[in-house]
Amino acid sequence: MRPFVHLNVAMTADGKIDTVERRGAAISSAADKERVDRLRAQADAVMVGGRTLLDEDPKLTIKNESLRAARVARGLPPNPAKIGVVTNAALQPGAKFLTAGPARIVIFTSERTSKNQLEWLRSNGAQVFVHAGQRVDLEAMMATLKVEGINRLLVEGGGTLNFELLRRGLVDEVTAYLAPMIFGGANAPTLADGLGAGRDEAIPLKLEQVNALDDGGIHVRYSVLRKHSD
Ligand SMILES: NC(=O)c1ccc[n+]([C@@H]2O[C@H](COP(=O)([O-])OP(=O)(O)OC[C@H]3O[C@@H](n4cnc5c(N)ncnc54)[C@H](OP(=O)(O)O)[C@@H]3O)[C@@H](O)[C@H]2O)c1
């Protein structure tokens, strides 16, 4: 058993989710930021990959106070849980990922993370799962999340984590905001990076919805046709 997994990105018309500089370039419009806030409000947890976590230190909280209040009225915590998937965790004191909230913090990592870091994360209230092997075992992680009460998971990048989840059939829905601009750059991150799939292994999608926005951007929603449900 695993949660329902929704992957969301903001990308340029050429499919880039950042520039070649990899400094977390702004891509979303104001309307898209509001949509992402609503997506977070519907989620039990929001997840990011290790590079996004360590390089950008995202807050991942809900910005709109009334969305937080509505969750509390439904008996939920004000913010969804924040989940980091990181091979070698090296979070710093004062990291916004840990402190912005209140929110439950969950870290999935490998044995490459130092004992000191594991102890420090736990003493700061994070729930930490350490997997044997080179990387986090994404299937095992999903099963753990389900047991931990996460039924609806929002994945917010980056491209490496996105591709691994898609490749393993662990994504149910993909949404994207296509901003009216082009970054270019062969090494700029895209919606799905990693090793890539051959044509025969391409991940099939079904177009569910397309909306053109007043800001010149496009919202698109796909369901993933090849996935593992358990
Ligand atoms: N526009 C958007 O919507 C958006 C959203 C988020 C991020 N971004 C951008 O995406 C870029 C970062 O993406 P990224 O691809 O470099 O990194 P990422 O997907 O954020 O993080 C991937 C990291 O997770 C670790 N990991 C652990 N277990 C894994 C597993 N089983 N499968 C895959 N990864 C695993 C990997 O570490 P090891 O390789 O060390 O094993 C890898 O470095 C940044 O430029 C950021 O700005 C854009």
pLDDT at 213: 97
> Which atom of ligand 1 approaches the CA of 53 most closely?
20
CA atoms within 13 A of residue 173's CA, in its CB half-sphere: 14
Mutation choice for ligand 1 from 106, 145, 160, 177, CB with most ligand atoms inside 8 A: 160
Look at the pTM and tell me if it is higher than 0.75: yes
Burial 118-155 (b: 16+ CB within 10 A, else e): bebbeeeebebbebeeeebbbeebbebbeebebeebbb
**Could you tell me what percent of the chain has a pLDDT over 70?**
99
For the stretch 162-200, pLDDT in tens is 999 999 999 999 999 999 999 999 999 999 999 999 999
User: Helix (H, G, I), strand (E, B), or coil: what is residue 15?
Assistant: coil
Q: Is 89 in the pocket of ligand 1 (CB under 6 A)?
A: no
Phi, psi for residue 32 in degrees, rounded to 5: -70, -35
> What mean pLDDT value characterizes the chain?
97
212 burial type by CB count under 10 A (0-12 exposed, 13-18 middle, 19+ buried):
exposed
Q: State whether the beta carbon of 79 lies less than 6 angstroms from ligand 1.
A: no
pLDDT surpassing 70 at residue 229: no
CA atoms of 35 and 223, how far apart (whole Å): 18
Ligand 1 pocket test, pick from 23, 55, 135 with the greatest ligand atom count within 8 Å of Cβ, gives 135
The closest residue, in CA terms, to atom 31 on ligand 1 is 136
**How remote is the CA of residue 74 from the centroid of ligand 1, in Å?**
32
Residue 58 CB–ligand 1 contact under 6 Å: no
What is the share, in percent, of the chain residues with pLDDT greater than 90? Answer: 97
Q: Which of 35, 39, 52 to mutate to test the pocket of ligand 1 (most atoms within 8 A of CB)?
A: 52
